Homo-oligomer: A and B are copies of this chain.
Amino acid sequence: MNTANPIAASRIGALSQAGVAETNRSRIMQHLYHHGISSRAQIAKALRLTPAAITKITAQLIEAGAIEETGGLEGEKNRRSIGLALDNTRFHVIGVKFARSLVQIGVFDLAGHASSLTTLPYVSNDTIDETIATVHGTIERLLDDDPTILTIGMAVPGPYLRENGHTAVVSSMQGWRAVNFISEFAESFRVPALIEQDARAGVLANYLFDPETEAGNANLAYYLVGEGVGLGVIDNGRIINGSLGTATEIGHVSIDVNGRPCDCGNIGCLERYCSTPAIHQMIIDDGTLIPDAATMSHTEACRKLFALANAGNETALGMIRTIGRYVGYGCLIIFNAFNPRTIVIGDIVSEAGQPLLDEVKRIVKERAIPEIYASTTIRLTSTPTDAAVLGAAAVAISYFLDHPSEFFNLK
């Protein structure tokens, strides 16, 4: 009885305002999306809706082309019943990842399989406008080529202010702050574009697509360690957003209140110690391991370091351990602030692989509360595509599943 969530009930009240009919349509779409082919009876039972309601709503969805009937399904008592399905391959979405110098655009089906993935030319502070124009052009072309594209998801660096459309800080690439993603993209295309903070998109991708995420794992964190450091958290089935949409901004939590200053105004932000720009600086400061590091991009320098470590270079391995320690400090913040069951580490720094993970786990084991350490899994991402661009697709797919009447004629 001590697990009661005291204000859960008031939540239902808020949700029901959104429209009971649309909510039930969405629940049926979600059920078919997550469980595959199901009979009307199975759906009725799982969602606690009456058979009459199911019959009415599914007829509407079939008529509109959102779902379809399939062949017979083995039912209870060996009676065969008709199956219903949401065809994951029939509809597509676009996912766009904005990550400072790296912008990627992919087309995905509803199962998260990419049918195309384009990486735009390297972006600098001076070429942001050009990049925005290229994004517009690329999306328009993709939409022209594929009439089954339903919606667009975009993953942008946090802290992203979801009401005003701006990212509040973009360490080392402040030019992005001038972009208003909502006015720039939200209603520019024949389909809606949804914008989400990148790591929050990433946790959604892990939730929807990662085969290693146990089904229905509702306490999940995606810890993005790349050009920025970000975090997305699903707590007991719901994404933590905050008032302005800038919760779970772990990159700007300080690990040393007397440490390195950050562009955000804070001192000692985690991002200043283990993002790719911070690692790049560490390599340049070393001077000898990668002598031409200064001429490389952040990502190139980091990948060179990881390759050297993989080849057994001791200096490189020492640096990976230093990075791992900082990534581990971040995990400790995640433990104490969010207590997820699983932390998935993703983006470029996760490419450092096992030596990094070993050091992360070592520092976490040393400093965590034992009961929490014992019940939390920390692992590297295993999604086939970068979790943020896949996450952008996941944002689009979730929007589609939540709002069927915006995509089909469902009076």
Contact = CB atoms under 8 A, between A and B. Distances in A.
Interface stretch (A15-23, A99-107, A289-297): A15-23
Interface string A185-199: 010000010111000
A382 B121 CA distance: 55
A403 B264 CA distance: 45
Interface in A223-267: 234-250, 252-258, 264-267
A252 B34 CA distance: 37
A329 to B, nearest CB: 5
A194 to B, nearest CB: 6
Contact of A329 (B1, B46, B254): B254
Nearest to A246: B339
Contact of A372 (B246, B250, B401): B246
Given A236-B241, A339-B246, A256 B253 contact: no
Interface stretch (A79-87, A88-96, A124-132, A158-166): A158-166
A310 interface: no
Contacts of A192: 1
Contacts of A73: none
Nearest to A3: B162
Interface stretch (A4-12, A53-61, A108-116, A280-288): A4-12
B253 A337 contact: yes
A366 interface: yes
Contacts of A11: 11, 15, 237-238
B338 A247 contact: yes
Each complex incorporates copies of this chain amounting to 2
A320 B44 CA distance: 61
A45 to B, nearest CB: 11
B247 A337 contact: yes
A249 B194 CA distance: 32
Given A242-B235, A256-B258, A266-B332, A249 B339 contact: yes
A13 interface: yes
Interface of A: 1-17, 20, 23, 26-27, 30-31, 34, 46-48, 159, 161-165, 168-169, 182, 186, 192, 194-196, 204, 207, 219, 234-250, 252-258, 264-268, 329, 332-333, 336-341, 366-372, 375-376, 394-395, 398-399, 401-403
